[in-house]
Amino acid sequence: MTAPARGAPVRGPLLLHHPVTIAPGAPVLEVAGVVRSSAVDGPGNRYVLFLQGCNFDCTACHNPTTIGRCDACGACVPVCPHGALSLPEPGVVAYDPAPCDRCKLCVTVCPIDADPAIRVVPVDVLVEEIRPLARFLSGVTVTGGEPTIQAGALAALFAALKADAGLGHLTTLVDTNGTLPPARWKPLLPVLDGAMVDLKAASSDLHQRLTGHDNVAVKETIRFLSSAGKLAEVRLLVVEGVTDTDEELAAWAEFVAAVDPGIPVRLMAFRHTGTRERARIWPETSPEAVDRVQERLTALGLTAVGSIGVSRR
Q: Which residues bind ligand SF4 (CB under 6 A)?
A: 70-76, 79-80, 82, 84-85, 93, 100-106, 109-110, 112, 114, 116-117
Smallest separation (angstroms) from ligand SF4 to the CB of 80? 3
Closest to ligand SF4 by CB, 20 vs 40, is 20
CA dist 127 and 116 (Å) reads 23
Q: Which residues contact 52 (CB under 8 A, 6 or more apart)?
A: 30, 31, 32, 66, 69, 114, 115, 118, 144, 145
Closest to ligand SF4 by CB, 101 vs 205, is 101
Smallest separation (angstroms) from ligand SF4 to the CB of 94? 10
- Name the pairing type of β-strands 305-308 and 265-269: parallel
Closest to ligand SF4 by CB, 24 vs 90, is 90
Smallest separation (angstroms) from ligand SF4 to the CB of 34? 16
- In this structure, the chain runs to a length of 313
Smallest separation (angstroms) from ligand SF4 to the CB of 97? 8
Helix axis angle, 151-163 relative to 123-130, nearest 10°?
Answer: 40
Closest to ligand SF4 by CB, 7 vs 99, is 99
Closest to ligand SF4 by CB, 34 vs 155, is 34
Whether omega for the bond prior to residue 7 falls within 30 degrees of 0, making it cis, is: no
**Secondary element (H or E) of residue 202:** none
3-state class (DSSP) for residue 33 = strand
Closest to ligand SF4 by CB, 99 vs 181, is 99
Smallest separation (angstroms) from ligand SF4 to the CB of 29? 18
Q: What are phi and psi of 134, to 5 degrees?
A: -60, -35
CA distances from 56 to 63, 97, 179, 194 (A): 12, 28, 9, 21
Smallest separation (angstroms) from ligand SF4 to the CB of 114? 4
Single-letter code of the amino acid located at 253: A
Longest dimension (CA), the chain: 60
Closest to ligand SF4 by CB, 110 vs 297, is 110
CA dist 234 and 264 (Å) reads 7
Smallest separation (angstroms) from ligand SF4 to the CB of 87? 8
Cα atoms in the Cβ-side hemisphere of radius 13 Å centred on 79:
16
**Secondary element (H or E) of residue 232:** strand 231-238
